[in-house]
Structure 1
Amino acid sequence: MQLSLEQVREMAPDEKSVIAANKIVSLNHWNSPGLSDVAIWGKCAGGRYQVRVDLQNLGSHCNCPSRKFPCKHVLALLMLFTSTPDAFEITDSPEWVADWIQKRRQREQQKSAGKVQPSKPVDPEAQAKRIRERESRIAEGLQHLIVWMDDLIRNGVAGLEAQPFHFWDTQARRLVDAQAKGLASRIYRLAEIPNSSRDWPERLTNELGRTRLLVHAYLNQGELSPSLQADVRQLIGWTVSQADLQASGTEIEDDWFIFGQRVEDEDRFTTQRSWAVGRKTQQEALFLQFAPGKQGFSESIVPGTCISGKLVFYPATVLQRAKISERSEEQHVSAMDLFYLDSIEDFLDSYADRLGRNPWLASCSCLLKEVSIAQHKGDWYLRDKHGYGVPFKSLETYRILAMTGGQPVHVMGEWNGNFFSPWSLLVNQQFRICS
């Protein structure tokens, strides 16, 4: 597995961990770093901390007391391996590494075979009762939401930019109490729109309309197709259990190239969003992982690397969210092997088709060939060679301009219906992360 220092830094839970890791990258801090066909390892701090990394999926473990994952020792070992691979002796894995790898493989096999059983049997009658009670609470919460939204539209959106956060928070909390957490999140996103741009009234009205349509769809879900019904229920706040995912999910096998990742820290947990695309199928895949505090995520997903194997996609009209079902031997896939659309017009046609199937589609991935960044009347745009453009938004605009020299490059990113957000680039045949 080939890694760059940039990719290793992307794995860090925060910038402080990168700084701390840089201080112990030197060989003076490591005892007997080794390399086998399945792992790298080393001992740090005079042998006190044993560090190991699984080369199949970059899973790692260190016996230090840090609550961050990966810790500075794991990051430093990967940095050392990236910068000085010859320092690692090629040999068989020592016992403490081999045992760890063996246990990981056993867990992965049990997981893929579906052998992990629930801790206690489910009572069907009690479960059906809980579902009925929740449906009733959600229906009541939606009726209150309809009244609130109708009043809001009747009074007009003018002046909403002056409303305090409490105006939106009260309604969102009611939906949380009604167990419609997905809708509550939509209300919080609505609260971010007023005064956020020149066209905010139009954007807010559009989102209010889509939210009202979602409520109507849920209250009439019996008339929807099974896939659209699955979309609506998940948007409201219902989750898909692992058993349901295995039973009704769609499984696709490919070599999945990870082209971007975002990590967001919230009150009590951390969310990781990773976009991937299949080399052969061109199917997009969105991995979502959640972890409490600074704990690590269950799967190691690193931008610029490839996951070969089967993914299972959540039931939906537009397949996006996926989980790793089965890993196979990793294939060498680079960003140069991917399919890029030739024009922005082709992408927008594709997006319109997906939006027609799911009008609540929050975002989708986008890979564009030979596009450049241009500024017009103070706003940034992504422009293709045919002259078409879309609004462009990034905190790293000037850094991207410096990397590309203002020349057309292949861009991988995310489109949310309003603007394009770049996640990575292909510059001079080199994969570069934007963040």
Structure 2
Amino acid sequence: MRWTAERVLALAPDEASVRAGRAQASAVRWTASGASGDAVWGQCQGSGKAPYQVIVELAEPAFRCTCPSRKFPCKHAVGLLLLWAEGVVADGDEPEWVDAWLRERASRVRQSTEPGERDEAAAATRAARRAGRVSGGVAELLGWLNDQVSTGLAVLDQSPDVLYGVAARMVDAQAGGLATALRRAAVIPGRGRDWPSRLLEELALLRALAKAYERVDELPEPLAATVRARIGFTVDTADVLASGERVSDEWLVAGHVDQESEQLVSRRVWLRGVESGRWALVLSFAGPGRTLDTSLIGGTRLRAVLAFYPGALPLRALVADKGDPVLAGRPEGGGIGDALAAYAGALAVDPWTERVPVMLGDVTPVRLGGGWGLSSSDGLALPLGAGVDPWALLAVSGGRPLTMAAELSPSGLRPLTCWDDDRAVRL
């Protein structure tokens, strides 16, 4: 049974391959072609003298092309399948070069009798299928975003459920990161006079992520790892512990934040290396009736080895080995200028960063417009984030400068811990 064009294009590894494959779906480019119950094959004239030999085994599917591309399927295989889907490729007997490759492939499959090899092959097949679904979802999202720019964002104020509908399609495409970003954007329309600019910013970041995924194989590996993670691909903790970058240090537990979403409680714990000055983020999750990990206590220090997840801005880490915690004194902090520089540096390498940890020294609570913020000795000030209650901070400060660990995001500062002399106070 011939496939549909949609099924063929869903196999393309990225949008560039979709466009290139459509360009190859012209009968004049093919000097020979045919199809059987097992495979589709053809010879496509390329830039060299000899035509490229293209074979697609339909069962898995599997692809072979003599062109130099490292994409699977390459544009020639996509173009051949599109021609087959349109009925242009006629049924016929497999030529010798096709039959030889199919027999060789079948032999390799029969020899893979060990359970581990079968599991790896099955995992590779699942990964390829998911990659195809994600690529299809990314292509759909880019088309939808282009439509919103063409028609304007005002309609989303009247129909915010449209964003949730697109998010549901990204879930179907197994691109959970895109779905989360769309749901976050869905609460913006109609909230505040500047909601169109804030929504446009969110959608622009989504488009940048989708376009980055289209060429993820061309990106430097740290950035490619960040893009995959933002799309929704996960890395096994066993792989992180086995091959992730390891850093041994005396780590200060600078603070944590708990959040609830969809019957799941998450905890962000920020650690700062006393010797290296490096930040690390340790995440834990708990479902209904379960408790979060409480082994990392704010205001304490402990000797530990952390294994970091890959990424352009490697912050998330796992605790590979740790000692007993001890009480820590007041840490050293920087000014607000240092915090802004750290935030700018983080965005430069990971534009989808939502927040960065900062350690501020000698900052004082002050009134900023109609709200509260913090000022430092360098003459700069930052507002507290939306929804932050300033009264605990004011009570500890009493007008005195403080040392504080906080999260910095576009909405402002979210204090985590401050130090009253050498006593850590959770905020």
Regarding TM over 0.5, the answer is yes
- What does residue range 4-19 of structure 1 map to in structure 2 within 5 Å? none
Structure 1 contact 256–307 (Cα < 8 Å) conserved: yes
SS at match of 2:188: coil
CA distance in 2, matches of 1:133, 1:270: 31
Shift of 1:196: 4.3
The one of 134, 150, 154 aligned to 2:150 = 154
Where does 1:306-385 land on structure 2 (aligned, <5 Å)?
A: 306-328=301-323, 330=324, 332-336=326-330, 338-341=331-334, 343-385=335-377
Task: Give the whole-Å Cα distance in 2 for the aligned partners of 1:379 and 1:153.
Answer: 34
Whole-Å separation in 1 of the counterparts to 2:209 and 2:193: 26
Deviation of the 1:162 alpha carbon: 4.1
Query: C-alpha deviations, 1:157-197, integer Å up to 9, x for none?
Result: 34544434x22211111101110011111111112333445
CA distance in 1, matches of 2:166, 2:378: 46
Whether contact under 8 Å (1:255, 1:333) holds in the other structure is: no
C-alpha contact 1:255 1:331 (8 A) present in aligned 2: no
- Letter of the 1:345 counterpart: G
C-alpha change, 1:184 and 1:335, in structure 2 (3 Å) is farther
Describe the shift of the 1:126–1:239 C-alpha distance in structure 2 as closer, same or farther (beyond 3 A): same
Q: Determine the C-alpha separation between the residues in 2 that align with 1:192 and 1:401.
A: 31
Matched residue, 1:415: 408
Aligned positions of 1:265-280 closer than 5 A: 265-280=260-275
Secondary structure of the 2:394 match is helix
Within-5 A mapping of 1:24-173: 121=116, 123-158=119-154, 160-164=156-160, 166-173=161-168
- TM-superposed CA distance for 1:298, in Å, is 5.2
Quote the offset at 1:198 in angstroms.
4.8
CA contact (8 A) 2:257 2:269 kept: yes
Question: In structure 2, what is the equivalent of residue 399 of structure 1?
Answer: 392
One-letter amino acid matched to 2:395: A
Provide the residue aligned with 1:111 in structure 2: none
CA distance in 2, matches of 1:376, 1:155: 38
Picking from 237, 248, 273, the partner of 2:232 is: 237
Tell me, yes or no, if the aligned pair for 2:137 and 2:169 is still in contact at 8 Å.
Answer: yes
Match of 2:243 in 1: 248
Q: 1:412 to 1:170 in 2, by over 3 A?
A: same
CA contact (8 A) 1:374 1:381 kept: yes
CA contact (8 A) 2:298 2:424 kept: no
Q: Is the 8 A contact 1:279 1:339 kept in 2?
A: no
| Cα distance in 1, alignment partners of residues 391 and 294 from structure 2 | 33
1:383 is paired with a residue whose SS is strand
Q: Which amino acid aligns with 2:317?
A: A
**Offset of 1:247 from its aligned partner?**
4.0
In 2 relative to 1, CA 197–279 (structure 1 residues): closer, same or farther, beyond 3 Å?
Answer: farther
Task: Using the TM superposition, give the Cα deviation of residue 395 of structure 1 relative to its aligned residue in structure 2, in angstroms.
Answer: 3.1
Provide the C-alpha distance between the structure 2 equivalents of 1:345 and 1:280, rounded to a whole number of angstroms: 22
3-state SS in 1 of match to 2:276: coil
Alpha-carbon distance change, 309 to 226 in structure 1, aligned in 2, over 3 angstroms:
same
Is 1:221 paired with 2:216? yes
Counterpart of 2:150, as a letter, is R
**Residue of structure 2 aligned with 1:426, choices 419, 422, 426:** 419
Structure 2, unaligned runs of 5 or more: 1-114
Q: How big is the shift at 1:405?
A: 1.4
* Contact 2:253–2:296 (8 Å) recurs in 1: yes
When structure 1 is superposed on structure 2, of 129-138 and 374-383 the one drifting more is 374-383
Is 1:270–1:294's contact at 8 Å kept on the other side of the alignment? no
| Cα offsets for 1:33-89 (capped at 9, x unmatched) | xxxxxxxxxxxxxxxxxxxxxxxxxxxxxxxxxxxxxxxxxxxxxxxxxxxxxxxxx
The question of whether the paired residues in 1 share the 8 Å contact of 2:373 and 2:381 is answered with yes
Structure showing greater radius of gyration is 2
Give, in whole Å, the separation in 2 of the partners of 1:169 and 1:202: 19
Q: Contact 1:309/1:326 (CA < 8 Å) preserved in 2?
A: yes
Q: Would you say the 8 A contact 1:268–1:293 is kept in 2?
A: yes
Mapped pair 1:188 → 2:202: no
How far 1:155 moved relative to its partner? 2.6
Please tell me whether the aligned partners of residues 336 and 360 of structure 2 are also in contact (alpha carbons under 8 angstroms). yes
1:232-269 CA-partner distances (Å, limit 9, x unpaired) = 00110100013321343111111222121122233332
Higher relative contact order (CA 8 A, sep 6+): 1
CA apart distance, 1:429: 2.9
| Structure 1 vs Structure 2 CA RMSD | 2.0
